[in-house]
Amino acid sequence: MRLKFIFESLTLCAVLNETPTSRKLMKTLPAESVIHTWGEEVYFTVPVKTPLEGDAQQVVDPGTVCFWVEGSSLAIPFGPTPVSKADECRLVTRVNILGQLEGDPNLLKSVREGERIRVELAD
């Protein structure tokens, strides 16, 4: 499964794992939202409600596509956040792991708070 994230300033794709949350997400696409930033993380709400999965994590690799259960949001960290220790990508809580961006996650540095985003299935 592949997703396309269409930001105002760039387009990135991601490969998703087969998880209960990723299957729920795919059923809601296409979806549009507004970007929020938190340190070196972008996140945005999506129309998905789901519980925390058993393999949820709080510290992930840069470019990991995550689902933040409490915020009903996709989160993509690309560097440290305000709760990180050193250079790790630490999210505010444990998150469901959905997949990984293709390409360089540092491209997300160009994305700004308040930008619009469209998420859709990729070819």
Domains of the chain by start residue, with CATH: 2-121 (2.40.100.20)
Q: Rounded distance, CA 39 to CA 80, Å? A: 6
Least Cα distance to 95 among 121, 120, 117, 73 occurs for: 73
pLDDT in tens, 58-70: 999 999 999 999 9
Do 76 and 43 contact (CB within 8 A), yes or no? yes
Least Cα distance to 108 among 43, 20, 46, 54 occurs for: 43
Give the mean pLDDT of the chain. 96
Residue 9: pLDDT over 90: no
Do 60 and 77 contact (CB within 8 A), yes or no? yes
The reported pTM is 0.96
Residue 71: pLDDT over 80: yes
pLDDT in tens, 84-99: 999 999 999 999 999 9
Report the chain's C-alpha Rg in angstroms. 13
Ramachandran category for residue 122: left, alpha or beta (phi over 0 → left; psi -120 to 50 → alpha): beta
Q: Rounded distance, CA 70 to CA 84, Å? A: 19
Q: How far is CA 86 from CA 5, 42, 59, 74, 123, in A?
A: 28, 19, 12, 23, 37
